[in-house]
């Protein structure tokens, strides 16, 4: 879907700003629905939330397929993207919190690693196949993206079926009414826990400024000149790096110095984005994205494991929602920021300046939250204590 919507919007509008608006649409959903999504993940059956959210994602893709097939105004594409984004907003906190009940806590870090690896594997296959299908269908179809969207809708039905077959159920112990107080509980916990706040802040601003992937259609068509197949490969580069990293991490014990490792990983991420922005060689650009995906996976494992283990069960869904808000906002607002800067100053300036800003963010977070540098082994600590885990 990511490849198809990016290619079609740029094909029809020739505007990097149109690509940035995709991020803005997703961010609107995240900001507006994250707190209710976190409340539902704590107060209702998480498995059902995951199931129905997946169905809505499928319906959104059917809508995108229809818009593409009849060449409707691109505004309708943004409308169906908003539906998909809303469904994903409810899916993320329920899914993240549900995984904790599927495995013993001592194995949770490994579960996160393998969960990330399987997601990234799909992220490799999806863009690569999407780019190939766009090129193949483009020879005999005016709207090849429509077929890609339709295939993705079928994938959502398959996913929902697999979710329905999971035997583990989530039983709500203390269902709370949806009030302002219950909605902001997750935010209050994150703000009071300096270690979690530091990790989420680092991710928020690093991805905000390092959102180069939003401009991949521009690089594929106008800078690297590799077409839709090359776009699919570029979209796959980041998850390829993440898979390689996940397979390595799965063989290693949990990080002994998680905080320093996290800071170093984000710094390397910023450097790889700078290299990608400056490169005019496809394979150098591809390798830079692979490296960015590998180190980003380290960040994901450390952050996600820490957020779940440091959060009490009665707040886990709402804290997961806040985590999703930070992640999603950084991704989508980063895409919008990259599109706007590229529109006025050019794509290369947008990407390189973002990588430099990421390096500055690492220095700032390390100075403001020194406890992050002292954060040791990935273990559960007393919630709210700010214990370094060393």
3-state helix, strand, coil in the chain (%, to 5): 80, 0, 20
Overall residue count recorded for the chain in this entry: 390
Q: Which two tokens stand for residue 69?
A: 């097939």
- The pLDDT confidence band at residue 176, using thresholds 50, 70 and 90, is low
Sign of the C-alpha dihedral computed for residues 76, 3, 37 and 211 taken in this order? negative
297 close to 116: Cβ distance less than 8 angstroms = yes
Average of pLDDT values for 101-127?
75
List, for residues 274-292, the tens digit of each pLDDT value.
Answer: 999 898 899 999 999 999 9
**DSSP 3-state assignment of 152?**
helix
CA–CA separation, 159 and 161 (whole Å): 5
Collect all residues with Cβ–Cβ distance below 8 Å to 237 and sequence separation of at least 6: 286, 287, 289, 290, 293
- The pLDDT confidence band at residue 389, using thresholds 50, 70 and 90, is very low
List, for residues 148-158, the tens digit of each pLDDT value.
Answer: 999 999 999 99
CA–CA separation, 95 and 118 (whole Å): 14
Query: Where along the chain do its domains lie?
Result: 2-166+182-374
Tell me: pLDDT of 263 over 60: yes
Quickly list DSSP for 193-262.
-HHHHHHHHHHHHHHHHT-GGGGHHHIIIIIS--HHHHHHHHHHHHHHHHHHHHHHHTTSPPPSSHHHHH
Tell me: pLDDT of 22 over 70: yes
77 close to 12: Cβ distance less than 8 angstroms = no
- The pLDDT confidence band at residue 75, using thresholds 50, 70 and 90, is confident
Tell me: pLDDT of 230 over 50: yes
- The pLDDT confidence band at residue 59, using thresholds 50, 70 and 90, is very high
SS (H, E, C) 1-40: CHHHHHHHHHHHHCCHHHHHHHHHHHHHHHHHHHHHHHHH
Q: Work out the angle at residue 59's Cα, subtended by the Cα atoms of residues 8 and 82, and round it to the nearest 5 degrees.
A: 60
H/E stretch holding 305 reads: helix 282-309
Average of pLDDT values for 127-145?
82
- pLDDT at 104 (0 to 100): 77
- pLDDT at 275 (0 to 100): 93
CA–CA separation, 368 and 251 (whole Å): 33
7 close to 226: Cβ distance less than 8 angstroms = no
Average of pLDDT values for 227-246?
83
List, for residues 77-103, the tens digit of each pLDDT value.
Answer: 999 999 998 998 888 888 877 877 788
User: Which of 220, 198, 76, 51 is closest to 146 using CA atoms?
Assistant: 76
CA distance between the termini of the chain: 42
- pLDDT at 317 (0 to 100): 64
- The pLDDT confidence band at residue 173, using thresholds 50, 70 and 90, is low
User: Which of 55, 52, 49 is closest to 94 using CA atoms?
Assistant: 49
Architecture per CATH, domain 2-166+182-374, reads as Up-down Bundle (1.20)
Sign of the C-alpha dihedral computed for residues 313, 123, 201 and 389 taken in this order? positive
For a pLDDT cut of 70, what percent of the chain falls above it?
86
DSSP tag of 172: P
Q: Work out the angle at residue 318's Cα, subtended by the Cα atoms of residues 177 and 389, and round it to the nearest 5 degrees.
A: 140
List, for residues 331-380, the tens digit of each pLDDT value.
Answer: 666 777 777 788 888 888 888 888 899 999 999 999 998 888 888 766 54
How high is the mean pLDDT of the chain?
Answer: 80
Collect all residues with Cβ–Cβ distance below 8 Å to 162 and sequence separation of at least 6: none
- pLDDT at 280 (0 to 100): 86
Tell me: pLDDT of 384 over 50: no
134 close to 4: Cβ distance less than 8 angstroms = yes
CA–CA separation, 254 and 378 (whole Å): 6
Tell me: pLDDT of 106 over 90: no
Tell me: pLDDT of 385 over 50: no
Tell me: pLDDT of 175 over 60: no
pTM (two decimals): 0.64
CA–CA separation, 282 and 65 (whole Å): 30
- pLDDT at 381 (0 to 100): 46
């Amino acid at each position: 879907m990511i490849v198809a919507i990016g290619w079609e919007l740029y094909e029809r509008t020739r505007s990097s700003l149109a690509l940035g608006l995709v991020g803005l649409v997703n961010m609107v959903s995240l900001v507006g629905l994250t707190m209710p999504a976190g409340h539902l993940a704590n107060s209702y059956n998480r498995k059902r939330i995951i199931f129905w959210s997946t169905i809505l994602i499928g319906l959104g893709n059917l809508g995108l397929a229809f818009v593409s097939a009849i060449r409707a105004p691109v505004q309708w594409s943004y409308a169906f993207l908003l539906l998909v984004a809303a469904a994903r907003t409810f899916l993320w906190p329920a899914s993240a919190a549900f995984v904790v009940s599927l495995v013993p806590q001592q194995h949770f870090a490994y579960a996160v690693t393998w969960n990330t690896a399987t997601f990234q594997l799909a992220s490799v296959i999806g863009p690569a196949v999407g780019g190939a299908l766009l090129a193949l269908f483009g020879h005999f179809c005016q709207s090849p993206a429509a077929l890609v969207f339709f295939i993705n809708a079928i994938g959502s039905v398959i996913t929902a079926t697999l979710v329905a077959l999971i035997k583990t159920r989530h039983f709500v112990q203390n269902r709370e009414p949806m009030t302002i107080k219950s909605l902001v509980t997750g935010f209050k916990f994150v703000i009071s826990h300096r270690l979690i706040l530091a990790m989420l802040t680092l991710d928020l601003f690093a991805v905000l400024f390092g959102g180069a992937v939003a401009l991949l259609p521009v690089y594929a068509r106008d800078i690297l000149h590799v077409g839709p197949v090359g776009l699919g490969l570029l979209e796959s580069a980041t998850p390829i790096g993440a898979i390689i990293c996940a397979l390595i991490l799965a063989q290693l014990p949990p990080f002994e110095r998680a905080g320093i490792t996290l800071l170093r990983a984000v710094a390397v991420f910023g450097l790889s984005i700078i290299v990608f922005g400056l490169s005019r060689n496809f394979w150098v650009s591809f390798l830079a994205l692979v490296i960015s995906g590998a180190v980003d996976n380290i960040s994901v494992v450390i952050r996600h494991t820490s957020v779940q283990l440091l959060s009490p069960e009665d707040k886990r869904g709402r804290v997961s929602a806040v985590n999703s808000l930070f992640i999603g906002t950084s991704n989508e607002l980063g895409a919008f920021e990259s599109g706007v800067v590229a529109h006025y100053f050019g794509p290369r300036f947008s990407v390189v300046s973002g990588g430099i800003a990421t390096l500055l963010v690492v220095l700032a977070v390390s100075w403001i939250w020194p406890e992050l540098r002292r954060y040791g082994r990935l273990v559960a600590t007393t919630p709210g204590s700010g214990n370094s885990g060393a």
